[in-house]
Amino acid sequence: MEIGGLLNNELLLDLNVPYLLIRPNRIRKLKTLASERKVPLPTNALDILREYLQGQKTTKPDAPVFQTYGRDERMDPLSQNLTNIILKQMKVEDRRLVPYSTRHTLKDNMRTLRTPLMYQLDIMG
């Protein structure tokens, strides 16, 4: 949900270390002040994001990056869309698996891979 609520001015892509600025904005809130952070982008994610941005209609700084999902104070369309992908495209029949459960799966996988805690916290918020 944090990524789905990004604004264009929260993408800092032309720096030595490109990153996403995760902070409260008009689309989404954060659970705690500690959730505000800078998330560095690996090269492949940066390339995909730049390609995506080239196809966007507006690059206004205060415009949502993901215009389909970034509505003021609402992220419901994103959650519904991700749930449909899980159920229909991925053909997962377990209704307990929802977009939020992927966060926990990621966290478990990072622990298994012994990802340094600092990186886990940056990614997970």
Whether residue 14 is predicted with pLDDT greater than 90 in this model: the reply is yes
Segment (H or E) for 99 = helix 99-112
Q: How many CA atoms lie within 13 A of 62 on its CB side?
A: 3
Tally of structural domains, the chain: 1
Q: What angle separates helix 99-112 from helix 117-124, to the nearest 10 degrees?
A: 170
Is 2 within a domain?
Answer: no
Tell me the per-residue pLDDT of 17-34, one tens digit each, with 9 for 90 and over.
999 999 999 888 888 887
How far is the C-alpha of 48 from the C-alpha of 52, rounded, in Å? 6
Strands (E), the chain: 11-12, 19-22, 37-40
pLDDT at 73: 60
Is 1 within a domain?
Answer: no
Is 12 within a domain?
Answer: yes
Tell me the per-residue pLDDT of 43-81, one tens digit each, with 9 for 90 and over.
999 999 999 999 988 788 999 898 877 666 665 677 777
CA 22, chain centre distance (Å): 9
Is 26 within a domain?
Answer: yes
Residue span of the structural domain in which 83 resides:
8-124
Tell me the per-residue pLDDT of 80-118, one tens digit each, with 9 for 90 and over.
777 887 888 888 888 777 777 777 788 888 999 999 998
Is 3 within a domain?
Answer: no
Greatest CA separation found in the chain?
43
Is 74 within a domain?
Answer: yes
